[in-house]
Amino acid sequence: MCGIVGYTGGRQAAPVILDGLTKLEYRGYDSAGIAVSNKSGNIDIVKAKGKLQVLCKVTHNGENLDGFCGIGHTRWATHGEPSENNAHPHCNEDNTIVAVHNGIIENYVPLKEKLIRRGYKFYSETDTEVATKLVDYYYKKYNDPLRALTEFALHARGSYALAVLYKDYPGEIFAIRKDSPMVVGYTDGGAYLASDVPAILKYTRNVYYTDNYEISRLSANGVKFYNLDREETEKQPSVITWDAEAAEKGGFEHFMLKEIHEQPDVVRNTLNCFVRDGEIDFGELNLSDEDFKNFDSVIITGCGSAYHVGVVAQYVIEDLARIPVRVEIASEYRYRNPVLTGKELLVVISQSGETADSLAALREMSAKGIKSLAVVNVVGSSIARAADAVFYTKAGPEISVATTKAYSAQLIAVYLLALKLAKVRKTITENRYKGFLKELATLPEKISGILGNKSEIQKFASEMMDRKDVFFIGRGIDYATCIESSLKLKEISYIHSEAYAAGELKHGTISLIENGTLVLGILTQNSLVEKTISNLKETESRGAYVAVLATEDVAGIPANFRKLFSLPGVDGHFSASIAVVVMQLFAYFLSVLRGNDVDKPRNLAKSVTVE
């Protein structure tokens, strides 16, 4: 996954592009590059291995590069190791066509072989160089910059957001996308292109979300769009309402910490958008009460943390709405041959809305005629556009690779879905329904309370920083919180951890418990805590150091168990929303203490647009 930025207009292009790329580093950060059409009409390219800062240094923040039109790229390697050679932009032999690309050209090997047969030579291992030379081939054949891109689209398979500079068209950027995000912005004197809005928000709030196979043509005079027949098309612009500050760190040391602290607001905003006058209002969802009555089951899919939200949802929806729910890992589900009745509701959960496996699972199911609801944070993203209905979470841009606030907003989405289904299907009384909505409204304050006492969690983290293994155990919704807690810990602290349904540990994995192994028990489900406490004791008697995260009203916790934090009382259906905050902070502090790059953990990228 990568980030691309383009600019053409009255300003010096390189500083604008580099500034935009800094907002996209969450999309990739192993190398970066920039290309600018200079005053003499040639295209200058500068690339650097490593984080964007290296490129900024080499180019003096872009000041060294003349010219008013250019494209830039921050890379997360897919084909070929991170190196200057493999970094984008890529160019044709005489440097007259230069391109940056986000995505994967799946058939790049046969395309490359074909181009080699026609005399092309290659200097890198990338699919992007193949894409660039494919554009070059068709440009030379038809002498038409639009035709070169439509031919590219006809011959390339895979996903791409491709932005191209042609030396013959100085001051213009041509771009095409399929299944990789691209937004185009404009002002009076210029036009912008980026993989994501924060990259251009400083310059414009007027944007177009481009569609698959749509060609964008940017110049200082404005933006034009074309279809695959190269006919100009009309397009509706959107206005971005986000505060530019929302994409910045806002005084916190890391985006992750800032985003953890935004959770009370995010939960409140998401609730306020969908609960009005004590009623869930799904008016903007394009799903009627009749639809909710007629579904015979719910299938939830997603990846990573989004999948974990699905696990919480399974417990909550089944318990409240009495409808069968299955949760499926998207990368598996897309290749399954499930038995379907045709009356299922498919719920695809994704912060970015661009996760390749989730998108593919959605497409597979849509092709089988299954109605879909996307729970997505990024407006206009691919999953949002491919689904029949969209619940937009109101988390705002999430920069840290480890998701926190988007996860919390997704939880609210699935709680509301559970309550909506329960109400329409009459599986809970009106009183209970109202009571649950009131309970949900207390979550922001309860989360704020945890954030106000975070030093307790920091202290615990400092005592645990040398642990090699951590086990999270719990039952029911606490198990769902465990899997998310364990992922958080792994991805940013690099400490090995496992999450287990408490009763399952003794079926093999308990053999890994040694003297001093940290076992964290989550205890928020009243009817299950006794059982989990017994399982914790089993680990303690094998040498584990046991700590518990429990709601304040849980009784019977052995005196020798360490109390990590006492959670405020909450209805058990919604306890994941508060328990997870403690675990996010635990992982965060461990990551800081161990000197890790919290917001950009090794080997990871914010949104995974490849299989």
Number of amino acids touching ligand M6R (CB under 6 A)? 16
Does the protein bind ligand M6R through residue 381 (CB under 6 A)? no
Pairing between strand 518-523 and 545-551? parallel
Nearest residue to the partner ligand M6R, using Cβ: 304
C-alpha span between 198 and 185 (Å, rounded): 11
Query: b or e along 526-544 (b: 16 or more beta carbons within 10 Å of the residue's beta carbon)?
Result: eebbeebbebbbbbbeeeb
Does the protein bind ligand M6R through residue 412 (CB under 6 A)? no
Nearer to ligand M6R by Cβ, of 136 and 364: the residue is: 364
Residue from 298, 580, 608, 609 binding ligand M6R (CB under 6 A): 608
In whole angstroms, the minimum distance from the beta carbon of 255 to ligand M6R comes to 12
Are 115 and 134 a contacting pair, CB within 8 Å?
yes
In whole angstroms, the minimum distance from the beta carbon of 463 to ligand M6R comes to 24
SS3 content of the chain, % helix, strand, coil (to 5): 40, 25, 35
Catalytic member of 49, 133, 423, 606: 606
**465: alpha, beta or left, given left = phi > 0 and alpha = psi -120 to 50?**
alpha
Of 47-55, 183-191, 351-359, 387-395, the segment contacting ligand M6R by CB under 6 A is 351-359
**249 is an active site residue:** no
Instruction: Detail the DSSP E strand segments found in 378-443.
Output: 389-392
Binding to ligand M6R (CB under 6 A): which residues in 294-313? 303-306
In whole angstroms, the minimum distance from the beta carbon of 355 to ligand M6R comes to 3
Does the protein bind ligand M6R through residue 607 (CB under 6 A)? yes
Does the protein bind ligand M6R through residue 257 (CB under 6 A)? no
Nearer to ligand M6R by Cβ, of 383 and 547: the residue is: 383
Residue from 102, 124, 331, 351 binding ligand M6R (CB under 6 A): 351
Catalytic member of 2, 69, 91, 303: 2
Are 473 and 519 a contacting pair, CB within 8 Å?
yes
In whole angstroms, the minimum distance from the beta carbon of 356 to ligand M6R comes to 9
Structure tokens at 274: 């969908």
3-state secondary structure 351-377: CCCCCHHHHHHHHHHHHCCCEEEEEEC
Phi, psi for residue 499 in degrees, rounded to 5: -115, 130
- The DSSP code sequence of 147-198 is HHHHHHHHH--EEEEEEEEETTSTT-EEEEEEBS--EEEEETTEEEEESSGG
DSSP 568: P
In whole angstroms, the minimum distance from the beta carbon of 583 to ligand M6R comes to 12
Closest CA to 452 of 549, 585, 553: 585
Please give the helix or strand (H or E) that residue 540 lies within, else none.
helix 529-540
Of 259-267, 318-326, 400-408, 575-583, the segment contacting ligand M6R by CB under 6 A is 400-408
Residue from 161, 402, 518, 592 binding ligand M6R (CB under 6 A): 402
In whole angstroms, the minimum distance from the beta carbon of 556 to ligand M6R comes to 33
Does the protein bind ligand M6R through residue 344 (CB under 6 A)? no
**606 is an active site residue:** yes
Query: b or e along 438-468 (b: 16 or more beta carbons within 10 Å of the residue's beta carbon)?
Result: eebeebbebbeebbeebeebbebbeebeebe
Binding to ligand M6R (CB under 6 A): which residues in 191-210? none
In whole angstroms, the minimum distance from the beta carbon of 453 to ligand M6R comes to 23
Are 451 and 260 a contacting pair, CB within 8 Å?
yes
Nearer to ligand M6R by Cβ, of 497 and 539: the residue is: 497
Residue from 128, 263, 393, 403 binding ligand M6R (CB under 6 A): 403
Are 610 and 77 a contacting pair, CB within 8 Å?
no
Contact letters for ligand M6R, residues 142-161 (x by CB under 6 A) = --------------------
For residue 463, give every residue at least 6 positions away whose Cβ sits within 8 Å of its Cβ, in sequence order, or none. Answer: none
Radius of gyration of the chain (CA): 25
In whole angstroms, the minimum distance from the beta carbon of 252 to ligand M6R comes to 17
Of 16-24, 345-353, 509-517, 558-566, the segment contacting ligand M6R by CB under 6 A is 345-353
Contact letters for ligand M6R, residues 456-495 (x by CB under 6 A) = -------------------------------x---x----
- Binding residues for ligand M6R (CB under 6 A): 303-306, 350-352, 355, 358, 401-403, 487, 491, 607-608
For the annotated catalytic residues, the residue numbers are: 2, 606
